[in-house]
Amino acid sequence: MQKVKGLKSNDIVGLTASAGPVSHEQLKKAILALEELGFIVVVGETCSMNYRGYLAGAPQKRASELNDMFANQEIKAIFCLRGGYGSTQILPLLNRELIKRNPKLLVGYSDITALHLFLQQCCGIPSIHGPMPASDLIDADSFTKEDLYRLLKGDTSLERVCNPPGEKMEGVIPGRAGGILIGGNLSLLSALMGTPYEIDTKGKILILEEINEEPYKLDRMMTQLALGGKFSEAEGIVLGTWSGCYSDSNFNIKDLFKEMLEPFGKPVLFNLRAGHCSPMISLPLGAFVEIDADRGEFVIKEGIIQ
């Protein structure tokens, strides 16, 4: 895994829409949010596009723009405007050799999970699972912005990851483990099974999160990963946030995960506040991390910044 350069004030960053579209008003606020973090923003054409009503431009346009932003030496990092749907469409159109030669940070989560996997597995480049300008940074709290900025600068090594005040990480299955951090949104990981971009969890710490899915759908997607060997091959599992993933019945979602993951005998942490939530922790995908489910701890042992 390559390491990438961190950011500093007044660096130029790219803003691209690899998935869904936004309104003109949202775009203006998203640009302002990045500028308030201290960056100069190069806005991609896709950020103003709307294709089919649910995509920010045709796949070829979105892929070409992302390739160009990696090739542009003046752009020091790339922010994905929002999630939604569409990142999986552009994976075959991305220039992996060009991207390998021009490593830089990419920030996003949810649908951007597809790009994180591509960068990590096809290009050997780490990335940041963190807030996106149009969907999060527009009205982000200080914890979310400060945690992202600290990670962008490279302040990660030998650091205990701490939840926002009042939120406790807890062990679902006991034990300790270490490995490269990989993963993201459960729906995206499930959708990529059986493709050339399927997640490889061998020897890794797997992070999972989701939003607005019924427990039976979570069960189905988790079962798919289980049947594909993704839990048995992982060293440990971290469960992020599950906003809106609770049924009206007297059902504890934590019990679902415990029941499904216990047979694999791997340590499992629950309630890391990363994913569809606010405040939100930013995570360095590709970093070497250790988890201690007995003590409810998550530690970054080796970061992703040079």
Residue bearing tokens 């469960």: 239
- Residue from 170, 210, 166, 171 nearest 191 by CA: 210
Q: Phi/psi at 285 (nearest 5 deg)? A: -70, 130
Determine which one of 18, 64, 87, 110 is catalytic. 110
- What is the distance between the alpha carbons of residues 65 and 51, in angstroms, rounded to a whole number? 15
In terms of Cα–Cα distance, which of 174, 161, 188 is closest to 298? 161
| Candidates 127, 276, 282, 290; catalytic one | 276
Catalytic annotation present for 209: yes
| Catalytic annotation present for 276 | yes
Strands of the sheet containing 40-43, edge to edge, are 40-43, 12-16, 77-80, 105-108, 127-129, 283-285
SS3 label, residue 168 = coil
3 state DSSP class of 236: strand
Active site residues: 110, 209, 276
